[in-house]
Chain A
Amino acid sequence: TQLLEQSPQFLSIQEGENLTVYCNSSSVFSSLQWYRQEPGEGPVLLVTVVTGGEVKKLKRLTFQFGDARKDSSLHITAAQPGDTGLYLCAVGDDKIIFGKGTRLHILP
């Protein structure tokens, strides 16, 4: 059983569409992070959410932390080919535990 379950595993959509990916757990966390990883590169931190119900926006990306602090979502509006990558959720202040990620492919 994975601590963090990310869904879907893979998502391929057309440029301009909206999408949401999810990160779920049965555990409660004090904070949760989202990273993006491109092939051959290390994960890059996008955002950290801390408060239950918190919503953070990063341009066309909207991150939400669940009220119970057990889950999170990432919504991308009007996806672009540059959004292609592996999106990872993660928890931990010192040692980080990553989910398996959602591999997103935006078709031009």
Chain B
Amino acid sequence: EPEVTQTPSHQVTQMGQEVILRCVPISNHLYFYWYRQILGQKVEFLVSFYNNEISEKSEIFDDQFSVERPDGSNFTLKIRSTKLEDSAMYFCASKHGGYTFGSGTRLTVV
């Protein structure tokens, strides 16, 4: 069964550093998303991406965040200068009809 693949599975970074979280969506999907889940809290929408541009973003997705689809297969989330409160599971998802989520990247900011 096709999967959404995320790398790395875990990332530890120092506060203020830039991180790039990578995702390979399912190949025939056209809609891509990032969500995050802070430990013990609900899954929250960050951003949706379609036709090489952001279609919607949440209040969480401020100027420190950016997304990119640099080639035909990868979809990345960049956090420019990480804060402690960015520590969370970050899930990539793609959609063609129904959603498929990746297994997530656990980001820990220290």
Q: How many residues of A contact B (CB 8 A)?
A: 18
Q: List 25 A-B contacts (CB under 8 A).
A: A37-B43, A40-B89, A40-B104, A40-B106, A41-B104, A42-B4, A42-B101, A42-B102, A42-B103, A42-B104, A43-B91, A44-B101, A45-B99, A45-B100, A48-B98, A94-B55, A95-B45, A95-B58, A96-B33, A96-B45, A97-B45, A98-B42, A99-B42, A100-B41, A100-B42
> Bound complex: CA of A96 vs CA of B4, how far in Å?
17
Chain A's nearest CB lies how many Å from the CB of B44?
A: 8
Contact with A along B30-59 (1 / 0, CB 8 A): 010101000001111100100000011010
Q: How many residues of B contact A (CB 8 A)?
A: 24
Using Cβ atoms and an 8 Å threshold, which residues of chain A touch B48?
Answer: 94-95
Q: Is A88 an interface residue (CB 8 A)?
A: yes
Q: Is the interface of A mostly helix, strand, loop or mixed?
A: loop
Using Cβ atoms and an 8 Å threshold, which residues of chain B touch A66?
Answer: none
Using Cβ atoms and an 8 Å threshold, which residues of chain A touch B58?
Answer: 95
Residue on A nearest B41 in the bound complex, by CB: A100
Q: Is B93 an interface residue (CB 8 A)?
A: yes
